[in-house]
Structure 1
Amino acid sequence: MDKEATIYVIDLAKSMGEKHAGRSISDLDWALQYVWDKITSAVFTGRKTLQIGIVGVGTDHTSNPMAKGADGYNHISILQPISQILLPQLQALPDLLRPSKTDDRDVLSAIIIAGDMMTQHCRDLKYKKTIVLITNATGNIDDDDVEKTANFFKREKIELVVLGIDFDDRDYGAKEEDKSPLKRKNEEILKKMVDLGGGEVVAMQEAIDALSIPDIRPVRPTPTYKGQLRLGDPERYDTALSIDVERYFKTSIKRPPTASAYAVREDGPPDEGLSTVHNLYKYKVKDDDSSGGTRDVDRDELAKGFEYGRTAVAISDSEQNITKLETRMGYDILGFIPIQHVERYMMLDNSSMIVGQKGNDRAAIALSSLVHALHEVESVAVGRLVKKDMAEPIITLLSPLVAKDVECLIENILPFAEDVRSYRFPALDKVLTVSGKEITQHRNLPSEDLLQSMSDFVDSMSLVHGNEEQMSIDETFSPVLHTIEGAIKYRALHPTGGIPETPEAFLAYSRQPEDLQEQSKGALTRLMAAADVKKVPPRTKGRRKYRETEKPLSGLNVEDLFRNEKRTQISPDNAIPEFKQIMQHSDDMKRVKDGIQQLASILQNWVSKSFGDANYDRVVEGLGVLRQEMLELEEPTFYNDVLRDLKKKLVAGKLGSNRNDLWYRIRISKLGLITHEVSQFSDVSQADADAFMSLKA
């Protein structure tokens, strides 16, 4: 990344604390939304080459090196020298950026001070230099040095961006009514300086509206392979093809930032009350001769194992060395296949692009010839990549890309056969009978009217209208990534309180656009009529729907036999199946409650008599069955009471000592309290359920 230096010149005059244009917050608080977003984004990246300075204009005091030598530089303070801003400096800024008690200031003088700071810091080094002025332009501006300052900015290649609060912008549609002559004059002065020195004037409303759209941070391209792309062996055959190429990432999966674990250090200073959590790993193996059925082993005694399905396959270092391929760095083309034989599932991983070696015209022309040849015959290449000597080989698919600005090969890593899951589904356009006869008219098959209605409905919801496209790929962002990032940035400035609401730009992904809803109403009505859609009556609490079973030819109905059998006791040896029978074939709530109490007692008995964790799996299975049955019966309170009683006795040690592992298994099996989000008949909130799962009394 190139070095960047940005100075924010922020108007902190008394008038910035006032509210205008019908806003519920002051001009300063409104403008600081932009500042906080940009500064927290810089802190979030952690880049040392992204440096920021802050100058306050209209401050109560004066703190700048030019105040002593010349007039006109009062009420200007350097609040943050140009440097990398870290979390401590960020959290100190809100107290500094507050409205002052004076309106005496000259923003042009503040710009000059910021320009001097920039030149002293950057000197002759290569920097991207930007000064951002944020002001409502209601103070006096001495325009004697406008041209001189603009020439200085142009000479030093400093970009000046003026964010004007309630500035007029005809292109954006922003206009302030009843604007004072002073403010109108100041806008003209600032626009003149920007036109002469280079930069732009932006209405603050436009900048604030743009905050809902995430910034796409450019990434410096770093080659992941530099070497030859070969077709044949150039060391043995003169006819072999060898091209010097470079490999760069084109697309890659970005995951949300992960949290780090910290512990509160009570004996530390107040500002350093967190201590990094260090993990200690202990390894155990089953041993019937040891107490507890397990014994501790050292890491050196362990062998490497690989998962093959559900089986762990152990392999020693000596065996692994035998199986390791002795490879040499290179990129070889193994063959070519028609593009129509390429399935889409083969290209689901990250993609890279293969281009000619930088500065090598011969390599660029040779690769261009290969790309065009593949493009014309509609084929792709299968390659074998070894990034460095002794590295594992990668089998790739190389597809030609011929665009206006670039010609390259797009690389996708091919999956292993074990990575592909094949599933078979019945045909959607026909039904096969037991004898193999095809039926095209069936109640489970759509009619022509239904197919046409569905086609019309899909067409009515098209996001493409002429040359305009809604939610195009370039304008679509991941709500998960940017919402989490926004929450982290907000929490850095606001350590307490709730997190901000999700921006409207991300909420739009969760609902259909209103114009499409209106546009597709007619097609949806016709589709519902063709599909004979009917409203399902609401379920009655506590009633279970039994499956309709066909009456056997013998006339013996096994379901009726189970239903008529008045089972009253559940055997601990066959508790789970017998509990299911009671739940399925009992219409008496008294018998249901009795069955639940019996199962709860059996589960606790299994825990108390368990040797180590011998019975833990049975307990977890029993809780899972009980939870599912109560969800179907729509009686979540019964399950929640059983789980609360079990936890109470576990914590009190009434079911044996050191049973914490059982509660851990219950947690990872997601067998917590049934919340209102899962069942509408539960009065347990998600927050209460999360707190309950911690093993505390």
Structure 2
Amino acid sequence: MADKEVTIFIVDVARSMGKQHNGRKQSDLDWSLQWVYDSITNIVFTGRKTLQVGVLGLGTDHTDNAMEAMEGGESYKHISVLQPVAQLLLPEVTNLPKVLKSSRTDDRDIVSAIILGVDMINRHCKHLKFKKKLFVVTNAVASHIDEDDIEQLAQQFKDNNIELTVLGVDFDDAEYGFKQEDKPEEKAKNEITLKQLVDLAGGQFGTMQEAIDNLSRPAIKAVRPTPTYRGQLRLGDPTQYDTALSIDVERYMKVSVRKPPTASAYVIRSNASADDMESENLQSVHNLYKYRVKGDDYEGGAKVLEREELAKGYEYGRTAVSISESEQNITRYETEAAYDILGFLPADNIERYMLMDNANIVVAQKGNDKAAMALSSLIHSLFELGSVAIGRLVKKDMTEPILTVLSPLVEADYESLVENVLPFAEDVRSYRFPPLDKVLTVSGKALTEHRNLPSKKLLDNMSDFVDKMMLVDEAGDEMMAIDDTFSPHLHTIEGAIKDRAVNANDPKKNKDVPERKQAYALMQKPPSALQDQAKPALEKLKDAADVKKVEKAKKGRGRTRDRQTEKPLSGLDIDALLSKTRPTKKTNNIDPNNAIPDFQRVLASTADMLIIKDTFKEMQAFVEDLVKNDYGQKNYDRVLELLGVMRTEAIGFEVDDFYNEFLCDFKVKLFKGQLGDGRQELWYKIRKGDLGLASKEENATSTMSKAEADELMKAKSTTK
């Protein structure tokens, strides 16, 4: 079970925090809240109920705390509990920007707020086991701190195992290299007092500048290891042979691919009111599956079945063979949880492409010295012989076995077996490619010099370029250490979600994606020093490879290009011999049985705009006829294919307005039911297939903007 944790944030919202200092364009409060919101949303992102958060406002206009009415409560004025200790969800996060605003007073006592924070933690945790943290964010301006109770307060942090962290706006930090010039005397004195409190409490003291700078890099998240297998690692069968080896081991995840969070489908509740919060108006979408069986014996020609009424069937040739649940138990392969070593191989025989899935580690059972000694002997034997073990793992009884390769990992203070999954025969895909160092002729002769083969000059220049692109400088230092890299794609999405959660009620911020952090952009291109280092080698490589820039081809063709083609040697008009008679305005150009070739032939053979427009009208009539006569969506694929050809040709010949007019008219008829009832789902397929209206961004001759095209493509009924 994950550890319980409670965190209290004391945020100074006094009047001085609402002012700008040290040349910043943001107020001290807005600047500091970047770190506060990031820390809180990181906690919310985990979704763990065991992570509890509370927020105290220091220097608020009003007073709202448990010690206000007690004797000596004067020192607790202008301190308010803005968020009681609890698991934060979206409504609480959205509410924080409303209450974390600068006040009209500077009258507050930072030490009193810290005492209140300790009291909140103790009241919530009582004598239970919790990780306890308290963060203080302040600029310590226009505030007097009483030093009398510093030692007693610090002792409370030690006695209750509370971690204290003070982040000061423009506080000096020699280790980080930040110092504020011309600091007010009172602020400097308060800063020394807070530093003394932190040192006595064994906490952390830092400047907000360092915390803000660290926001550009994602924080490393500690994950509590959970064993995915606990049992014996066996060499031989201990139940049959006395010489068999059996070691008690545990298996843990070592390296795993982390994917960005995926979106979930929600709908607005039918009973939601306008006063409810947006997040409270939503409810999850649940899928309901219905299965229809056709048959003349059923009423209406079909019968609806529930999933429970279905049986699994397996293909045997062109026939479906049904196997019931009871019969499947007989065919199921029975296994028992175990980790067996099948044999040993030289490590050189394991190719990199054979390793699949994530990496795991296998270590001895905790507290089992005998198992640790036995596993250590196996690890060192493999390491000294340069070998690996091939294993067969069954995680739980009656689960499918997997084949693994166990490689020894030996370090100064750590040793284990690194596990990778091996592919089965059906996982391997073998592809044959022609050789890269020779060209085989039809007669079977091998040519080592050919126009499709690289020359020695090109190979040498490519080798030099690769050497210059090494992420190690001349001094042997890494330009981009693997421990400092991260996925910008993953963290950009997470950052957008956090920003949307905090600014859900701010119309100015919730419409745009937040500005991307500079550190994320740097992860998507080589370091500038590396580019400068490799530039000379790259120029030589371009010269050796004879690289030339290819001009971008124009989209338009047909009526905007010169139609004079090269005359064949025979003098015959090939187009006239192979195509039908050149279309005229009164001819039916489209054959329903050969619609797409006829449509393309007409557009390629005429520049008459009236003929082209009539051809689009004929295609429209044909498409509408397919929709009208559709049964069970059997014609939808053909309709989508026709629309794709029409759209491509319209953009290519710069007559995209013809397609746009057709699609708008088609939508009106579709939603009015003129093409049959229940045909609206076709519009969703059109949108999903990127067959929408052509805009100016795709073709400069279009009269429709991207915004207009997107608006008209929305799935709603339209009047014309």
Q: Do the two structures share a fold, i.e. TM-score over 0.5?
A: yes
Distance change (3 Å), C-alpha of 1:532 and 1:468: same
SS in 2 for 1:350: strand
- Compute the TM-score of the two structures, normalised by the length of structure 1: 0.90
Code of the residue aligned with 1:56 in structure 2: it is G
The residue number in structure 1 matching 2:676 is 656
SS in 1 for 2:339: strand
Whether 1:141 and 2:145 are equivalent positions in the alignment is yes
Structure 1 CA distance for aligned equivalents of residues 299 and 571 of structure 2: 57
- Compute the TM-score of the two structures, normalised by the length of structure 2: 0.88
Q: Of 240, 243, 268, which aligns to 1:239?
A: 243
Whether 1:500 and 2:504 are equivalent positions in the alignment is no
Q: Is the 8 A contact 1:137 1:183 kept in 2?
A: yes
Structure 1 CA distance for aligned equivalents of residues 665 and 297 of structure 2: 35
Structure 1 CA distance for aligned equivalents of residues 322 and 185 of structure 2: 83
The residue number in structure 1 matching 2:291 is 283
Whether 1:562 and 2:578 are equivalent positions in the alignment is yes
SS in 2 for 1:147: helix
Distance change (3 Å), C-alpha of 1:314 and 1:354: farther
Structure 1 CA distance for aligned equivalents of residues 707 and 482 of structure 2: 35
Cα deviations by residue, 1:71-106 (Å, 9 ceiling, x for unpaired):
533332333332222333323322222222221222
Whether 1:302 and 2:310 are equivalent positions in the alignment is yes
SS in 1 for 2:633: coil
**Relative to structure 2, which stretch is displaced further, 350-359 or 631-640?**
631-640
Distance change (3 Å), C-alpha of 1:96 and 1:657: closer
Cα deviations by residue, 1:294-351 (Å, 9 ceiling, x for unpaired):
5433323423257999998865435533321111121112222332232323323122
Code of the residue aligned with 2:101 in structure 1: it is R
Q: Is the 8 A contact 2:391 2:406 kept in 1?
A: yes
SS in 1 for 2:451: coil
Distance change (3 Å), C-alpha of 1:357 and 1:678: farther
Whether 1:524 and 2:538 are equivalent positions in the alignment is yes
Cα deviations by residue, 1:229-269 (Å, 9 ceiling, x for unpaired):
11111111111111111111222233322333332234345
Q: Is the 8 A contact 1:563 1:586 kept in 2?
A: no
Deviation at 1:212, TM superposition (A): 2.0
**Relative to structure 2, which stretch is displaced further, 272-281 or 672-681?**
672-681
Deviation at 1:7, TM superposition (A): 1.4
The residue number in structure 2 matching 1:69 is 71
Cα deviations by residue, 1:268-311 (Å, 9 ceiling, x for unpaired):
45434333333322112455787987543332342325799999
Structure 2 CA distance for aligned equivalents of residues 333 and 296 of structure 1: 51
Deviation at 1:687, TM superposition (A): 8.5
Structure 1 CA distance for aligned equivalents of residues 656 and 434 of structure 2: 37
Structure 2 CA distance for aligned equivalents of residues 97 and 295 of structure 1: 60
Q: Is the 8 A contact 2:289 2:306 kept in 1?
A: no
The residue number in structure 2 matching 1:14 is 15
Q: Is the 8 A contact 1:384 1:395 kept in 2?
A: yes
Q: Is the 8 A contact 2:556 2:651 kept in 1?
A: no
Q: Is the 8 A contact 2:684 2:715 kept in 1?
A: no
The root-mean-square deviation of aligned C-alpha atoms, in Å, is: 3.4
Code of the residue aligned with 1:517 in structure 2: it is Q
Whether 1:85 and 2:101 are equivalent positions in the alignment is no
Q: Is the 8 A contact 1:672 1:693 kept in 2?
A: no
Q: Of 481, 491, 501, which aligns to 2:490?
A: 481
Deviation at 1:60, TM superposition (A): 2.4
**Relative to structure 2, which stretch is displaced further, 425-434 or 289-298?**
289-298
Distance change (3 Å), C-alpha of 1:151 and 1:307: farther
Whether 1:317 and 2:325 are equivalent positions in the alignment is yes
**Relative to structure 2, which stretch is displaced further, 260-269 or 332-341?**
260-269
Cα deviations by residue, 1:610-660 (Å, 9 ceiling, x for unpaired):
334332222222223334444555655454444333323222222222223
Structure 2 CA distance for aligned equivalents of residues 309 and 158 of structure 1: 69
Distance change (3 Å), C-alpha of 1:512 and 1:314: farther
The residue number in structure 1 matching 2:642 is 622
Q: Is the 8 A contact 1:562 1:581 kept in 2?
A: no
Q: Is the 8 A contact 1:673 1:684 kept in 2?
A: no
SS in 2 for 1:62: coil
Q: Of 186, 196, 203, which aligns to 1:182?
A: 186
Structure 2 CA distance for aligned equivalents of residues 379 and 319 of structure 1: 44
Deviation at 1:192, TM superposition (A): 1.7
Code of the residue aligned with 1:152 in structure 2: it is Q
The residue number in structure 1 matching 2:399 is 391
Structure 1 CA distance for aligned equivalents of residues 300 and 255 of structure 2: 51
Distance change (3 Å), C-alpha of 1:12 and 1:241: same
Distance change (3 Å), C-alpha of 1:610 and 1:88: closer
SS in 2 for 1:354: strand
**Gapped runs of 5+ residues in structure 1?**
none
Whether 1:202 and 2:218 are equivalent positions in the alignment is no
Q: 1:516-665 counterparts in 2 under 5 A?
A: 516-543=530-557, 561-562=577-578, 566=582, 569-582=589-602, 595-630=615-650, 633=653, 636-665=656-685
Structure 2 CA distance for aligned equivalents of residues 628 and 136 of structure 1: 61
Q: Is the 8 A contact 2:439 2:448 kept in 1?
A: yes
The residue number in structure 1 matching 2:31 is 30
Structure 2 CA distance for aligned equivalents of residues 226 and 364 of structure 1: 14
Deviation at 1:134, TM superposition (A): 0.8
Q: 1:100-179 counterparts in 2 under 5 A?
A: 100-138=103-141, 139-179=143-183
The residue number in structure 1 matching 2:256 is 252
Cα deviations by residue, 1:455-489 (Å, 9 ceiling, x for unpaired):
32333333222443344332222233222222222
Deviation at 1:228, TM superposition (A): 0.9
The residue number in structure 2 matching 1:2 is 3
Deviation at 1:584, TM superposition (A): 6.0
Q: Of 320, 342, 350, which aligns to 2:358?
A: 350
SS in 2 for 1:153: helix
SS in 2 for 1:115: helix
The residue number in structure 1 matching 2:54 is 53
How many residue pairs get matched?
Answer: 695
The residue number in structure 2 matching 1:685 is 706
**Relative to structure 2, which stretch is displaced further, 174-183 or 481-490?**
481-490
Structure 2 CA distance for aligned equivalents of residues 376 and 560 of structure 1: 79
Structure 2 CA distance for aligned equivalents of residues 319 and 527 of structure 1: 66
The residue number in structure 1 matching 2:428 is 420
SS in 1 for 2:195: helix
The residue number in structure 2 matching 1:216 is 220
The residue number in structure 2 matching 1:42 is 43
Structure 2 CA distance for aligned equivalents of residues 277 and 178 of structure 1: 59
SS in 2 for 1:507: helix
Distance change (3 Å), C-alpha of 1:517 and 1:259: same
Deviation at 1:582, TM superposition (A): 4.4
Structure 2 CA distance for aligned equivalents of residues 398 and 680 of structure 1: 60
**Relative to structure 2, which stretch is displaced further, 524-533 or 663-672?**
663-672
Distance change (3 Å), C-alpha of 1:541 and 1:49: closer
Code of the residue aligned with 1:263 in structure 2: it is V
Q: Is the 8 A contact 1:293 1:612 kept in 2?
A: no
Code of the residue aligned with 2:382 in structure 1: it is L
Distance change (3 Å), C-alpha of 1:241 and 1:554: farther
Distance change (3 Å), C-alpha of 1:308 and 1:596: farther
SS in 2 for 1:352: strand
Cα deviations by residue, 1:136-190 (Å, 9 ceiling, x for unpaired):
1112111122222223323332221110101112222222121112111222111
Deviation at 1:364, TM superposition (A): 1.4
Deviation at 1:679, TM superposition (A): 5.9
SS in 1 for 2:215: helix
Q: Is the 8 A contact 2:582 2:605 kept in 1?
A: no
SS in 2 for 1:520: helix
The residue number in structure 2 matching 1:514 is 528
